[in-house]
Amino acid sequence: MFWIYTNMGLLAGLAGIILSMRNASTMPKAGYVFEMDAIASCYICGTAVAGGTGTVTGAVVCALIMEVLNNGMSLLDRSFDV
């Protein structure tokens, strides 16, 4: 469990560095709704709501689909963030 939490901490730090490089600055609310995107992608495609086991592959595919939709909405100057 220690190595799992260590790995997740390193990956979260790497994601923060990449996000600040992408934005060319750091802001306190830079990743404001990112946790909701992760929860939504896991709930929609990754978990079995009625019981059973979910798949990591399903969550990743759903996250990619959500980001493609989000990028397309941004290019069309629309927003589906709440």
Tens-digit pLDDT profile for residues 4-18: 899 999 998 898 888
* Whole-angstrom distance, CA of residue 25 vs CA of residue 54: 37
**pLDDT tens sequence across 34-82:** 788 777 777 777 677 777 677 778 778 888 888 888 788 878 877 665 4
Indicate the pTM of the whole model: 0.55
